[in-house]
Structure 1
């Protein structure tokens, strides 16, 4: 019996939430919250991008140093 009521309530809730006007109202309600959240996390996004860029440049530098040292070692072996 209680399982039947749960299913009925769940179906009714889903039916209500599927309506376009309810979706639009929900979006209107959530927009300020999402905007505020985005304003709060923007600095962290930029810091993360900066750290990824620095990490990439460091790895690229290490790769270039390894290639250069390998070329020098190969040149010395030929002499």
Structure 2
């Protein structure tokens, strides 16, 4: 019973705008640091996804060209 009242009072306390803003101000440097550290990985992931897209597109084009030129081979 006491635990539920305590939890609800904590939740109500954390719902106030002043506390939300203070928590955001406290955590802002930490989140900026984490994002700053993750930027190289994000850029490398974007680069590799783009590279894989290009390679798959080239493979599809080559496959279509081979199938178009070898229709005789497919019929047999």
Separation in 2, partners of 1:10, 1:63: 58
Deviation of 1:5 (Å): 1.1
Please list every run of 5 or more consecutive structure 2 residues that lacks an aligned counterpart in the other structure. none
Matched residues, number: 75
> Is residue 7 from structure 1 mapped to residue 4 from structure 2 by the alignment?
yes
1:2-60 deviation per Cα after TM superposition (whole angstroms, max 9, x unaligned): xx011011100000000000000000000000000000000000000000001001100
Return structure 1 stretches of 4+ with deviation > 3 angstroms: none
Taking only aligned residues, the RMSD between alpha carbons, in angstroms, comes to 1.7
> So what's the TM-score if we normalise by structure 1?
0.89
Instruction: Give distance in 2, aligned partners of 1:5 and 1:62.
Output: 66
- TM-score normalised according to structure 2 size: 0.92
| Uncovered stretches (5+) of structure 1, i.e. residues with no partner | none
Hey, what does 2:53 align to over in structure 1? 56
Deviation of 1:70 after TM superposition, in Å, equals 0.5
